[in-house]
Amino acid sequence: MDGHAEGEGRVYQALGDQHISEHHHHHGGGEAGPDTPDSVRHPAVGRPPVVLRDRLEVLERLRESAASGRGCDIHVLHGLGGCGKTAVAYDFFRSATGELGLTGLWVNASDRASLRAGMLAVASDRGAADSELLAVRNGFRPAADLVWEYLDRSAEPWLLVLDNADDPAILRDGSWLRTSPRGTVVVTTRRAAARWWPGAQLQHIGVLPREDAARVLCDLAPHSGTMEQAAEIADRLGRLPLALTLAGGFLSHQVIDPWSMEVYGHRLDEGERVALIDQGADALEEDPRQLVGRTWQLTLDTFEARGLTGAVALLRLLARMAPEPLPLSVLNRPEIEEVLPRTRTETALRALLDHSLAELVDTSVRCVQSHGVLLDSVAAATPLTEVAVLDSTAVELLGAAVPAIPDAGPYEPRLRLLAPHVLALLRRVADSPAMPDALAVATRLAVALHRTGDYLSAWETVRTAAALTEPLLGEEHRLVLAARSREGRALFRLGRYTEAESLLSRVRRAQERLLGPDDPDTLDTYHGLQLVLGNLGRRDEALALLRQTVAGRRTALGPAHPLTLRSRASLLVILPAPGLETEDGGTLLSLPEECVRHLGPDHTVTLGARHNHAWALYVLGRLEAADEEIRSVAEAYDRRFGPDYPIALSARQLLARTRAALGHRDEGIALMSDVVARRERALGAGHPFTAASRGLLGELRADSGADQT
């Protein structure tokens, strides 16, 4: 909708939250004051919003309040810059003045001078005499008292909008924000803390839902692409109204070589995202709030001016990571001292929350989150002299949040929350000395995810990390090879045996050539590859490789190292019956006792050795002993990891075998049915592990039927 001005007034065009810096005003026939706005009867929003999506609920509440006629209401619209707070206020203003017949008054509250000048213009509009205004200007009468006296005496009910009130202290110090029975007040602000707005009704204005965000792009650039393509771009832009408007404006105004939405999406992924978005503002005026590259810099400049340098440093640190929820515990560590004193982290975070630059979210873990376009904007504007220390600090903080030696355990949601931040950091540190350390953290995180049974997240994390770093470090870099090895291990657990074998074999050849067969990384690949080969039916190859792994780990790590003992425990599963009693000079069957001596009875390697030992006893026909041991191990797994943990399911499956072999077939069938159901839920019906369990269940049922016959 087009705005218009009366007399010598002017309408300014802009997008998103903004303010107007040029002022001249004629009231009562007097001389124009240098700080007086052109008009308070028309919103100084420049270009009205072309499209307003997903704000109907907010607008309805505002309209109900204004239509009630009771007055005395203050509504505060707060949120991140660029979310369309001013657009909502504008639409309500238009509705209130047009449909409800209210007198609309609009004041720019972005600074003291603009607020004071605008509010005095409101007093003049409501009937204040020039002599009264002169008394205020000369300091003989309180300005706010005069304004609210005339607002309270207004013959017509009114709506007063205080736009861009991002410094609430300005309103508080002058007592400018009050209530009146004659009208309704609406404030737009980035300041979210309720303490600034006592007695007001707070309404958060956030990003748009996906469908509404896509419609904004399609409304602005209807011939550039489909709704689904628009939705994909909207996701890349974080569904921020300002960014969507700029993107739509860019797509709709190209003449020589118009881009499609598909091309625009590719360009967003390729280079400087913020600079590309801001190209949509080329035809607009110079107000920096119209550019996503500057819209938040105003707040950071304010932080600097107020001495809140810690808030700036913290936001720049967050900008090295992802727009997804980040566990607050990551920031509460001594490693942050390189960027800001740990004692000031709390104050810095509160400043970001108060200015809508971050928000707290609870995903079963308390987290902080910032918008992606904001983070990109801050990262692009970060001084180069600070980048190295920010990168290294981010790596250290994320590294400290990942277990130094990941162990088996139940699902840990905090680990999955770290994955997008580790990957975002890898994207930020391209060509940086911090990249190898960041890749090492990503690989360790993948190991930790793997050992909680979250194989898909482990695979996605390490695969992406390797893909990001391989072009820069080289495919034969030690850390890249280690990442690819973990990728192969995850593929195996996902049931993709052929892919796992191909990848692990390739990594093995490179590591043997570059590092040697006894290097710990090479031996780790050996251990993973023998698991794949065994499940592919190539048991002789698997056994030979496992024996090589055991020998190499004994030499490289020592006989009591957990990894050495883990590989020896794997021999209990792969060896045929005759070899179980002769391997390692006949000492293999006493491995659980050896693990207890070196690691303790509760260590996961000890439990794994007992699990495999129970299998060996089953193979040797010692059913009572096997049944007793696996029952104890299964109970320990359930207590420690939960009944859905992969190892716990394997133990319960072996227990089903021993119970059935001892004549308790119904119990065995019940146990096996439960394993199948749980594996179908966790892995899917087509996973090889699920299929194997289902096959065993069929065998138990068939044997039971034969017994009955």
- Check residue 32 and give its pLDDT: 38
- Check residue 52 and give its pLDDT: 64
Token readout for 7 is 């007399």
- Are residues 219 and 125 both part of a single domain? no
Token readout for 398 is 């994320």
Residue written as tokens 């997804």?
324
Question: Distances in Å between the alpha carbon of 299 and those of 61, 76, 374?
Answer: 29, 19, 12
- Are residues 316 and 296 both part of a single domain? no
Instruction: Give the residue from 224, 291, 220 showing the smallest Cα distance to 257.
Output: 224
Tell whether 685 is covered by a domain. yes
First vs last Cα of the chain: how many Å apart?
84
Instruction: Answer yes or no: is pLDDT of 54 > 80.
Output: no
d(CA 23, CA 34): 6
Token readout for 124 is 């003049």
Instruction: Give the residue from 211, 215, 268, 207 showing the smallest Cα distance to 242.
Output: 207
d(CA 77, CA 85): 6
Instruction: Give the residue from 159, 123, 114 showing the smallest Cα distance to 142.
Output: 123
- Three-class DSSP category at 339: coil
- Are residues 190 and 260 both part of a single domain? no
* Strand stretches in 59-123, DSSP E: 73-78, 103-108
- Are residues 76 and 165 both part of a single domain? yes
Predicted confidence (pLDDT) per residue in 401-440, tens digit: 999 988 888 888 899 999 999 999 999 998 789 999 999 9
What strands lie across the sheet with 359-362, from one edge to the other?
326-327, 366-369, 359-362
3-state secondary structure 580-592: HCCHHHHCHHHHH
Average pLDDT, the chain: 88
Instruction: Answer yes or no: is pLDDT of 74 > 90.
Output: yes
Give the residue numbers spanning the domain of 224.
210-275+287-306
- Check residue 50 and give its pLDDT: 54
Predicted confidence (pLDDT) per residue in 125-144, tens digit: 999 999 999 999 888 999 99
d(CA 9, CA 409): 69
pLDDT tier at 2 (50, 70, 90 boundaries)? very low
- CATH of residue 361's domain is 1.10.10.10
- Are residues 253 and 336 both part of a single domain? no
- Check residue 545 and give its pLDDT: 97
Q: Is 408 left (phi over 0), alpha (psi -120 to 50) or beta?
A: beta
pLDDT tier at 270 (50, 70, 90 boundaries)? confident
Which of these three, 349, 378, 407, is where a domain ends? 378
Q: Enter the pTM of the model.
A: 0.84
Q: Which helix (H) or strand (E) holds 301?
A: helix 297-305
Which of 20-24, 46-50, 202-206, 414-418 is predicted with the least confidence, judged by mean pLDDT?
20-24
The mean pLDDT value for 392-409 works out to: 93
Token readout for 322 is 């992802």
The mean pLDDT value for 500-512 works out to: 98
Instruction: Give the residue from 418, 496, 426 showing the smallest Cα distance to 457.
Output: 418
Q: At what angle do helices 455-473 and 478-493 cross, to 10 degrees?
A: 150
pLDDT tier at 49 (50, 70, 90 boundaries)? low
Q: Determine the residue type at 455.
A: Y
Instruction: For residue 138, count CB atoms less than 10 angstroms from its CB and return exposed for 0-12, middle for 13-18, buried for 19 or more.
Output: exposed
Instruction: Give the residue from 43, 289, 68 showing the smallest Cα distance to 160.
Output: 43
d(CA 206, CA 55): 10
Phi, psi at residue 98, to the nearest 5°? -85, -50
Tell whether 129 is covered by a domain. yes
- Check residue 6 and give its pLDDT: 39
Instruction: For residue 233, count CB atoms less than 10 angstroms from its CB and return exposed for 0-12, middle for 13-18, buried for 19 or more.
Output: buried
Which of 69-78, 337-346, 541-550 is predicted with the least confidence, judged by mean pLDDT?
69-78
Token readout for 91 is 């639409």
Higher pLDDT, 65 or 394: 394
Q: Which helix (H) or strand (E) holds 671?
A: helix 665-683
How long, in residues, is the chain?
709
Kindly give the pairing relationship between strand 366-369 and strand 359-362: antiparallel
- Three-class DSSP category at 697: helix
pLDDT tier at 256 (50, 70, 90 boundaries)? confident
Instruction: Answer yes or no: is pLDDT of 72 > 80.
Output: yes
pLDDT tier at 526 (50, 70, 90 boundaries)? very high
- Check residue 220 and give its pLDDT: 87
Number of domains in the chain: 4
- Check residue 289 and give its pLDDT: 55
Predicted confidence (pLDDT) per residue in 616-637, tens digit: 999 999 999 999 999 999 999 9
Higher pLDDT, 141 or 292: 141
- Check residue 139 and give its pLDDT: 87
Tell whether 367 is covered by a domain. yes
Q: Alpha carbon 7 to chain centroid distance?
A: 50
Instruction: Give the residue from 425, 407, 504 showing the smallest Cα distance to 464.
Output: 425
- CATH of residue 642's domain is 1.25.40.10
Tell whether 499 is covered by a domain. no
Phi, psi at residue 540, to the nearest 5°? -65, -45
- Are residues 224 and 323 both part of a single domain? no
Tell whether 680 is covered by a domain. yes
- Three-class DSSP category at 188: strand
Higher pLDDT, 463 or 66: 463
Confirm if 301 and 309 have CB atoms less than 8 A apart: no
Confirm if 290 and 14 have CB atoms less than 8 A apart: yes
- CATH of residue 163's domain is 3.40.50.300
d(CA 636, CA 181): 69
Which of 107-116, 269-278, 353-362, 469-478 is predicted with the least confidence, judged by mean pLDDT?
269-278
Confirm if 238 and 269 have CB atoms less than 8 A apart: no
d(CA 362, CA 384): 34
Predicted confidence (pLDDT) per residue in 640-656, tens digit: 999 999 999 999 999 99
Confirm if 689 and 675 have CB atoms less than 8 A apart: no
- Check residue 276 and give its pLDDT: 84
Tell whether 216 is covered by a domain. yes
d(CA 560, CA 572): 17
HSE-CB at 657 with a 13 A cutoff on CA atoms is 22
d(CA 78, CA 76): 6
Which of these three, 169, 204, 239, is where a domain ends? 204
- Are residues 96 and 180 both part of a single domain? yes
- Check residue 709 and give its pLDDT: 39
- Are residues 81 and 189 both part of a single domain? yes
Which of 104-113, 275-284, 442-451, 668-677 is predicted with the least confidence, judged by mean pLDDT?
275-284
Sign of CA dihedral 64, 67, 71, 74: positive
- Three-class DSSP category at 615: helix
Predicted confidence (pLDDT) per residue in 588-615, tens digit: 999 999 999 999 999 999 999 999 999 9
Calculate what percentage of the chain has a pLDDT beyond 70.
92
Confirm if 217 and 244 have CB atoms less than 8 A apart: yes
d(CA 23, CA 12): 12
pLDDT tier at 370 (50, 70, 90 boundaries)? very high
Instruction: Answer yes or no: is pLDDT of 676 > 70.
Output: yes
Kindly give the pairing relationship between strand 158-163 and strand 103-108: parallel
Instruction: Answer yes or no: is pLDDT of 35 > 70.
Output: no
Which of 186-200, 285-299, 489-503 is predicted with the least confidence, judged by mean pLDDT?
285-299
The mean pLDDT value for 317-335 works out to: 96
Calculate what percentage of the chain has a pLDDT beyond 90.
66
pLDDT tier at 51 (50, 70, 90 boundaries)? low
Tell whether 413 is covered by a domain. no
Which of these three, 340, 356, 378, is where a domain ends? 378
- Check residue 296 and give its pLDDT: 80
- Are residues 156 and 81 both part of a single domain? yes
Instruction: Answer yes or no: is pLDDT of 326 > 70.
Output: yes
Instruction: Give the residue from 156, 44, 159 showing the smallest Cα distance to 109.
Output: 44
- Are residues 127 and 232 both part of a single domain? no
The mean pLDDT value for 669-680 works out to: 94
Tell whether 30 is covered by a domain. no
Confirm if 117 and 245 have CB atoms less than 8 A apart: no
pLDDT tier at 46 (50, 70, 90 boundaries)? low
- Are residues 324 and 219 both part of a single domain? no
Q: Determine the residue type at 629.
A: E
Instruction: Give the residue from 524, 347, 94 showing the smallest Cα distance to 515.
Output: 524
Between vectors from CA 520 to CA 514 and to CA 526, what angle results, nearest 5°? 85
pLDDT tier at 197 (50, 70, 90 boundaries)? very high
Instruction: Give the residue from 166, 119, 164, 107 showing the smallest Cα distance to 143.
Output: 119
pLDDT tier at 31 (50, 70, 90 boundaries)? very low
- Check residue 704 and give its pLDDT: 66
- Check residue 306 and give its pLDDT: 84
- Are residues 186 and 240 both part of a single domain? no
